Structure 1
């Protein structure tokens, strides 16, 4: 006979949490990247960094060896 007592503040907070979780799930589906995409990006970044390091000039002593 007694109705369940509901704390409206807690109910609103739980509803807001559920809506945020639903939005987060949608964002993960829309903007998330697969493991292969992440690996590809990582490999490309490493390749670019390696190419950049190979082109780097070594620092000398200021040209003191020149005559």
Structure 2
């Protein structure tokens, strides 16, 4: 039996992320910084930055 496509993709992406973890860490930091800049003009709670980062990195289907 074949694994569901999303499980297959998850593991493929997982190993790719392991290979480029340094770049990924830089990317996460950059996105967090951009989100902070985008929302800095409004007086929103810090949780909004977390939501922004989650939105960027949440794979479809989860």
TM-score higher than 0.5 here?
no
- Point out which structure has higher relative CO (alpha carbons under 8 A, 6+ apart): 2
* Higher radius of gyration, 1 or 2: 1
